[in-house]
Amino acid sequence: MLRDHVSANTVESLNNSINIVEPGRREFLKGLLSAGALVLSVRWTPQTVFAAATDSSSAGAVAPMANAPLHPNVYLAIDTDGTVYIIAHRSEMGSGSNTALPRIVADELDAEWSRVKIVQATGDEKYGDQDTDGSHSVRSFFDTLREAGGTARLMLVQAAAAQWNKPVTECHTELHEVIHAPSGKKLGYGELAASAAKLEVPKKEDVKLKARTDWRYIGKGTPNYDLKDMCDGKAVYGQDTRMDGMLYASVAHPPVFGSIAKTVDANAALAVTGVKQTASIEGFKPPVGYQTLGGVAVLADNTWSAMQGKKKLKIEWEKSPHSVYNSDSYKKELQDTARKPGKVVRENGNVNAIFAKDGKIVEAAYYAPLLAHASMEPPAALAVFHNGKVEVWAPTQNPQGAKDAIASALGLKKEDVTVNVTLLGGAFGRKSFPDFAIEAAVLAKKTGKPVKVVWSREDDIQFDTYHSVAAMYMKAALGADGKPEAWLQRTVFPPIGSTFDPKNNYSAADELGLGFTDVPFALPNHRVENGPATAHVRIGWLRSVANIYHAFAVHSFADELAHAAGRDSLDYLLQLLGPDRVIPKEELPKDYSNYDGAYEQYPIDTARFRRVLSLATEKAGWGKQKSGNGFGMGVAMHRSFLTYVATVVQVQVNDAGQVQIKRVDTALDAGTIVNPEMARQQFEGAAVMGTSLAFYGEITAKDGAIEQSNFNDYQVARMKHAPRETYVHIVPSEAPPAGIGEPGLPPFAPALCNAIFAATGKRVRELPLSRAGFA
């Protein structure tokens, strides 16, 4: 069911003692924590933090963390008053990572959650990978953070045992204290912090982690700890940053990718009240990568003046080779390529031999358009340059990448760049690219003043790092029993790799492994091909990446085959899976990346597919109401980011093509889930986002320039279009943790389109649905 609103009293009780430490609006931090290796066996001693916070009370907690005596590793510190400081080294954009990750530490530490304060990390290699994308924050750091908490717990026990002159084996921890059971003696963590700090950090093999049955936080749902601040307006996002004397900047970017300013007349812009100056930003040197697009900035003492000044600029742009890009002709080019043989990337058996026989052949072509991220908060960043060093505050998913890119753009050493991470008002992958933060840093250096770059919604949509457009072709030969004896699939799309190498027009193995080369069906003859596509815009990551269009094609086609065979869609899917098995790695491409998860630990297990399919369809009441006459149920399944998902969508379609999504049931098996509450929210949100993308998502270009500009022509689902009811069903599992933020999106569109077919008999093979007459 849609989540109930949390009352103000509930929010207060859940959050009144949990604090996030954010950079102050006018705070200039000169250093936070000394450099150190990401090694738990080495004590790490922080430097003193020098801060001048004037209007952010939370910033004052950074110094106490630095001064706390016990720092067993880079992720936590314990003060003499018992306060436990835990570093949130990943970005928070609504997925709950900076609640889930600290709770792993707190659980293993046996810390009382009400006495935990969370400190948002700056970009620093000592924390390990900080790029918050790919749905792997928990998966990548689950063991590391458990060891961090367990190490501190053991040191506290050792300190208490030494003080009591008792064996360590007779001592144990409960909430925030060490207990000697035989004598009943107790000591709080604060009382032990100073003495524990004098001990050697235990070796990894000496740290005994808790049994699953002893977990107190992992697997228990809790709201995001900064929920209260979000509700009362105290939460600090990139758009909220302020600094005395700063300038606001609005940047006119080249309307066509790869163009640069030929001439600039800024007189009218400079005449706008509040405008102080203009400044050029150098265009990128190919490949674009993480560089800025270049352009001309208007700097003013307020955002409105900067934006109005930008409108007054008269710029003549150099012609770009990408001016030839027109969506309609490009679409045909992709579709034509998908109809031709491509590079074979997976092959089992011999499909051609089967296709040559006299059998029933089913063919279908699918198309998914270019998409923009359109997150709630457009890009924004504040930068200050002083004494050869730059400090930036930004809603970035990738603070280390931003740090490197800023250093490169300004010709600085990495150690002379500090990137502070604010809350992110949505991101979906867009904010892994740091171009907007680089713009702020470049302008701060040029002007000698603090500069805040603010992108408008129009900037956000027209100069995005887009989700790729894709054309796919599917072909199958059905046997007498209706099962496919041969299955051919092709995908053609400009790859993300083209952003980092323009010559890259074939997809890399990791993109092809996003729902295409890892199809789990038991197929005796199966071939997967990839065709070339040239990119004319920046292609980047968007929530679930290539899984979106691959799931749409594969699971729409599976439904088509079911109807061609005269079979129930669910029964046919289960038959396609075949007997329960773990797919041997040798059946997959040699370069299959498996989301960077070890295949021995995260194999493709068809039994887990079967479980989520059975659960979702059971809860949805599959088969209880006959489809047709405007009512339809559709089902799809998908594995992405190592999580198994099945979605059932129920629709009612009237004679005018208006679609009401009556109910969505999604079942997921994500292994061990740290925070089920946030997991449910992510999958509920995926249903709404999936509705937006399926019905309206489409970015088009004419003569290289993007035609959409705001929500009037790049729509998102309104309340009347959103699913009426959404139910999320979690499969209990003790498997290793898998992804949460992205896996809910891929199966939604095919399940929706399959439901529309069941209701109307009209098959949708091209998105968005609005182009097919559905709304």
Q: How far is CA 505 from CA 494, 499, 532, in A?
A: 6, 10, 5
In the structure, what pLDDT confidence band is assigned to residue 691 with cuts at 50, 70 and 90?
A: very high
Per-residue burial over 744-756, b = 16 or more CB atoms within 10 Å of its CB, e = otherwise:
bbbbbbbbbbbbb
pLDDT one-digit tens code per residue, 738-749: 999 999 999 999
Give backbone dihedrals phi and psi of 426, rounded to 5 degrees, phi first: 85, 160
The predicted structure's pLDDT at residue 15: 36
**DSSP 3-state assignment of 228?**
helix
Above 90 in pLDDT, residue 42? no
Give the separation between CA 764 and CA 649, rounded to whole angstroms.
15
The stretch 429-436 carries a mean pLDDT of: 98
In the structure, what pLDDT confidence band is assigned to residue 44 with cuts at 50, 70 and 90?
A: very low
The closest alpha carbon to 643, from 570, 551, 759, 767, belongs to: 551
The stretch 295-302 carries a mean pLDDT of: 98
- Distance of alpha carbon 725 from the chain centroid: 24
The stretch 311-339 carries a mean pLDDT of: 98
The stretch 61-87 carries a mean pLDDT of: 92
The predicted structure's pLDDT at residue 56: 30
The stretch 1-24 carries a mean pLDDT of: 34
Straight-line distance from the first to the last Cα atom of the chain, in angstroms, rounded to the nearest whole number: 24
Give the separation between CA 21 and CA 28, rounded to whole angstroms.
14
The predicted structure's pLDDT at residue 1: 32
Give the separation between CA 401 and CA 290, rounded to whole angstroms.
8
Strand partners, 766: 367
For the chain, give the number of residues.
Answer: 775
pLDDT one-digit tens code per residue, 633-688: 999 999 999 999 999 999 999 999 999 999 999 999 999 999 999 999 999 999 99
Looking at residue 108, its amino acid is: E
Angle at 745 between CA 574 and CA 775, to 5 degrees: 100
Instruction: Tell me whether strands 380-386 and 451-454 are parallel, antiparallel or unpaired.
Output: antiparallel
Residue 311, C-beta contacts closer than 8 angstroms, at least 6 positions apart: none
Give the separation between CA 471 and CA 404, rounded to whole angstroms.
35
Q: What mean pLDDT value characterizes the chain?
A: 92
**DSSP class per residue in 120-168:** EPPS-GGG------TT-HHHHHHHHHHHHHHHHHHHHHHHHHHHHT--G
The sign of the torsion formed by the CA atoms of 513, 519, 525, 526 equals: negative
Give backbone dihedrals phi and psi of 387, rounded to 5 degrees, phi first: 50, 45
pLDDT one-digit tens code per residue, 604-644: 999 999 999 999 999 999 999 999 999 999 999 999 999 99
The predicted structure's pLDDT at residue 19: 37
Give the separation between CA 366 and CA 133, rounded to whole angstroms.
27
pLDDT one-digit tens code per residue, 698-737: 999 999 999 999 999 999 999 999 999 999 999 999 999 9
Above 50 in pLDDT, residue 24? no
The closest alpha carbon to 342, from 527, 516, 510, belongs to: 527
The sign of the torsion formed by the CA atoms of 754, 760, 762, 764 equals: negative
472 with 366: CB under 8 angstroms? Answer: yes
The predicted structure's pLDDT at residue 64: 82
Residue 296, C-beta contacts closer than 8 angstroms, at least 6 positions apart: 251, 252, 261, 264, 266, 278, 279, 280, 281, 310, 313, 315
Instruction: Tell me whether strands 275-281 and 295-300 are parallel, antiparallel or unpaired.
Output: antiparallel
**DSSP 3-state assignment of 87?**
strand
Give the separation between CA 13 and CA 228, rounded to whole angstroms.
10
Above 80 in pLDDT, residue 355? yes
Above 50 in pLDDT, residue 40? no
The stretch 215-236 carries a mean pLDDT of: 93
pLDDT one-digit tens code per residue, 492-532: 999 999 999 999 999 999 999 999 999 999 999 999 999 99
The predicted structure's pLDDT at residue 23: 37
Above 90 in pLDDT, residue 222? yes
Burial category of 413 from C-beta neighbours within 10 Å (exposed 0-12, middle 13-18, buried 19 and up): exposed
The predicted structure's pLDDT at residue 62: 67
